[in-house]
Amino acid sequence: MNSFDFNFEKIKKPLKYAAIIIVLAVIAFGSFFTLSEQEAAVITTFGNASSVSDSGLHFKIPFIQQVTKVDTTIKGFPIGYIEGSSESIEDESLMITSDFNFVNVDFYVEYKVIDPIKYLYASQNPVTILKTISQSCIRSEIGSYNVDSVITTGKSEIQANIREKISKHLEDNDLGLQLINITIQDSEPPTSEVLEAFMNVESAKQGADTAINNAKKYRNEQIPQAEAQIDQILKEANSTKEARINEAEGQVARFNALYSEYTKYPLITKQRMFYEAMEELLPDLKVFIDNSDGSTTQKLLPLEPLTGNTNEGGNN
């Protein structure tokens, strides 16, 4: 036996033990895995998948079972801009509203994995699908609102409607993802010229609102005054009406009384009416009635000129 054979036989047994120890160590380290509180794992055994979500140390069969860890924390991605910068992506952010105006709207989508198996195997890239769904729902919803609502007053309502639509699509597609939130980061007209025009329109609207409020204030002040004037006019009209009615009734009573006398003594009544009429028509004129010739025609002889000058030397 030469020296080489002696040395090989001497070290063969320790090498065998070392190899066994190494294999056992590999098996031992490959048989366990740990999960944090924000992780889940998918274990595949001959093509069958099962999930584990409890944190801590877990066992698996080496070389037979494969473990894929999935992060279950809330994640997000932007739509319309590059995250970490103010650079806009117009292909994503530029949209058209219901009143045919263009507007740049930036969104941020937050999601998390709720079913690791579906997340890994139901689709090839679920996050990309979620982004596509989000963009479709966003454009559909923005297109149903006018530019004023998108930029100012309708943001909360728009966000809520988009969130509901995306959640419905995620349920239908069964991607293993859950939408946590979607928010409008920014919304503005696409160019500085359009922005200036929009601000001018907003200023005009505010001016119109101010004018309307002033008009309402003036109306509220004038209506009580007008109502008071109307009440006063109605009272005066009613008073005048009552006076006219009373006067007319008095004249009717006087006429009836006069007619009653006329039927008894027609000639005397006519003469008296004639004299009263002349007294009313010519209150300051002194006249002399002459019927000395025996005729039925009476002569009216004015003792004073009709001009009003009095002749004191005349006879009465």
| pLDDT digit string, tens, across residues 200-243 | 777 887 888 888 998 888 888 888 888 888 888 998 899 898 88
pLDDT of residue 177: 95
The residues near 177 (Cβ < 8 Å, ≥ 6 apart) are 111, 112, 113, 114, 119, 126, 127, 130, 170
Q: Answer whether 0.85 is exceeded by the pTM.
A: no
pLDDT higher for 174 or 260? 174
Proportion of the chain above pLDDT 70, given as a percent: 77
pLDDT of residue 30: 58
pLDDT of residue 315: 44
Work out the pLDDT band at 316, boundaries 50, 70, 90: very low
Dig out the tokens for 234 from the structure.
Answer: 């109605």
pLDDT at 167 over 50: yes
- Mean pLDDT value across residues 129-133: 95
pLDDT higher for 163 or 152? 163
- Find which of 195-209, 234-248, 250-264, 296-310 is predicted with most confidence, using mean pLDDT: 234-248
Work out the pLDDT band at 290, boundaries 50, 70, 90: low
- Residue 142 vs residues 9, 83, 96, 171: alpha-carbon distances, Å: 82, 22, 7, 22
pLDDT of residue 86: 74
Q: Let me know if 148 is exposed, middle or buried by CB neighbors in 10 A (0-12, 13-18, 19+).
A: middle
User: In which element (H, E) is residue 34 found?
Assistant: strand 32-35
Is residue 168 a contact partner of residue 141, using CB atoms and an 8 Å limit?
no
